[in-house]
Amino acid sequence: MGEVFFYHLTQSPLDGTLRSLLGKCLGAGWRVAVRGRTDAGLDRLDAQLWLGDPVDFLPHGRAGGAHDGDQPILLTTARDAPNHPQCLISLEGAQITAEEVAGLARAMILFDGNDPEELQTARAQWRGFKEAGTKAKYWSEDAGRWDMKAET
């Protein structure tokens, strides 16, 4: 049974934090689905992932292509991910269920602590996972580094 890590972004930009986490996931040998709520948000993320040093390139694709099942990282708005991920990352308040988490090594929820809607959504997700008995950890960067502040 998997667990959920909540990342409360207050200082670091989403793109940088996500890039770091994706690198760690690939290093662990995991396939990843990044679930957003909007195509526009995933289009922006897709463009960002193509930038930077080619040495740090993260192989990825947008859902809807002919090779979705082969993608190490698949950016999608859909619940089903044809790349059969071991890790699911939620952005923009995209929903993840306890049933999904049970079939994963890990799920991650990244949320902007300066956005009241994302903050409220993350709190509701935390309560839902706690009620379902899903293991969850809350990570905060208030002190300038990531510290685990709570777990279920």
Q: For the segment 78-136, what is each residue's pLDDT rounded down to a tens digit? A: 999 999 999 999 999 999 999 999 999 999 999 999 999 999 999 999 999 999 999 99
Domains of the chain: 3-151 (3.40.50.10110)
Helix (H, G, I), strand (E, B) or coil at 74: strand
For 9, the token pair is 């972004």
Q: How far is CA 105 from CA 30, 76, 135, 143, in A?
A: 9, 19, 11, 28
Q: How far apart are CA 140 and CA 24, in angstroms?
A: 18
For residues 2-13, give the mean pLDDT: 95
Identify the pLDDT of residue 50: 87
Q: Residue 142 pLDDT more than 90?
A: no
By the 8 A CB rule, do 119 and 63 touch? no
Q: Residue 1 — very low, low, confident or very high, per pLDDT cuts 50/70/90? A: confident
What's the mean per-residue pLDDT of the chain? 94
Reported as half-sphere exposure (CB side, CA atoms, 13 A), residue 126 has a value of 18
